[in-house]
Amino acid sequence: MRPFGSFRRWRSVKDQSKFEAYLDPGFASEIATIPGGEKLQQCIQCGTCTAVCPMSAYMDYTPRRMIAMTRAGCRDDVLGSLAIWVCTSCYSCTVECPKRIPITEIMHGLRQMAVEEDRYPRRFTTPVMAQAFVEMIERRGRSTESWISVKLYLRTNPWLLVKNAAIALRLIRRGRLGFGRESVRDPGELKAFLAATERPAAVRSSVERVRQPTEAVA
């Protein structure tokens, strides 16, 4: 509450200017490769996204600031932010944005970049969870809640194993938490299938055969 009352606080005061040299002017156009991502250039900074966001109160930068920072090229701040991992993908911002900016998709895009560049917060559960989840699906094709949780606790905060033991026990007793590992019939084929998506688009793919929807979907 007393920002300059403690030695630590005033020692940590630093220049917060954003010098152009430290910004990445191409950052916004990288995001623009996400379908609809180019719309972030149209943002009018009205803050609707922040106000409808159930988690914005817990973010280091509000969604509106994330858009502004992305546009300005604050690559390091954006990709290193907690905000992208605090998002719960509830799509409120996407639906409410008066400029129809697909903010949730942009958040997902930023997450992918953060993972690729290996700069997500190490012990924060969301990215760790996402990766544990992805590993499990790649291996088995289906997830098992119990094992996901155990893996996650071990990687982030083993104390949760103890803390959540009581509720886990109650669930087990009611048949809602099993430890049998679920799987698709041929995990190898699924793995190959996922790997195949990394190949550039084939000339003739099943997409060409996609028909128009027979009924209008709202």
Partner 1 sequence: MPAPELASTPSSNGKVKIGVYVCHCGLNIAGKVDVSSVVEFASTLPDVAVARDYKFMCSDPGQELIEQDLRDGLVNRVVVASCSPLMHEATFRKATEKGGQSQFYFQMASIREHVSWVTADGDHATEKAKALVAAAVRRVALHEYLEPRRAEVLPDVMVVGAGIAGIHAALTLADAGKHVYLVERETTIGGHMAKFDKTFPTLDCSACILTPKMSAVRSHPNITLWTYSDVVGVEGFTGDFTVRVRHRPRYVREDLCTGCLECIEQCIHKKGKFDDEWNEGLSKRKPIYIPFPQATPAVVVVDPETCIWFKTGKCPQTCIEACERDAFDFEQTETFDEVKVGAIVLATGFKTFDASKMPEYGYGLYPNVYTSLELERLLNAAGPTGGVVELRDGSKPKVIGIIHCVGSRDAKHNLWCSKVCCMYSLKLAHMVKERTGAEVYNFYIDMRTPGKGYEEFYDKILREGVHMVRGRVAGVSDEAASPEEEGHLVIRAEDTLIGSVRRIPVDMVVLAVGLEPQPDAQDVRRLFNISCGGEGWFTERHPKLAPVSTFTDGVFLAGTCQGPKDIPDTVAQAGAAAAEAMAMIDRGFMMLEANTAHIDDEACSGCKTCVGLCPFNAISFDEERKKASVNEVLCKGCGVCVGACPSGAAQQHLFTDEEIFSEIEGVLAYV
Partner 2 sequence: MRYSYFPGCSALGTGRAYVESLHAILDVLDVELAELDDWNCCGATAWPSVDGVKAVALSARNLALAEAQTPGDAPVDVVSSCAGCYRALMKADRTMREGGEVAERVGGALDSIGLSYEGRTRVRHPLDVLVNDVGVERISAKVVRPLSGLTIACYYGCLLVRPYAAFDDIYDPVSMDRLMQAAGAESVDWPLKTRCCGGSCYCGGPMIGAMPEATLKLSYTLLREAKRRGADAVATVCPLCQFNLEGFQDRMEREFGDRLDLATGFATQFLGVALGLDERTLGIHRMLRWLPRRPSVAEGAHAGA
Near partner 2 in 85-114, by CB under 8 A: 85-92, 94-95, 102, 104-105, 108-109, 111-112
Q: Is 104 in the site for partner 1 (CB under 8 A)?
A: no
Burial of 148 (C-beta count, 10 Å sphere; 0-12/13-18/19+): middle
CA-wise closest residue to 84 among 54, 43, 122, 114: 114
Binding of partner 1 by 130 (CB under 8 A):
no
| CB-nearer residue toward partner 2: 23 or 187 | 187
Which of 126, 48, 1 lies closest to 56 in space, CA to CA? 48
Among 10, 46, 157, 169, binds partner 2 (CB under 8 A): 157
Q: Are 24 and 80 in contact (CB under 8 A)?
A: no
Instruction: Return the residue of 46, 90, 194, 195 that touches partner 1, per CB under 8 A.
Output: 46
The nearer residue to partner 1, 25 or 98, going by C-beta atoms, is: 98
Nearer to partner 2 by Cβ, of 69 and 113: the residue is 113
Residues in CB range of 151: below 8 A, 6 or more apart: 132, 136
Tokens of 33: 């490769």
Q: Please state the closest distance from residue 186 (CB atom) to partner 2, in A.
A: 8
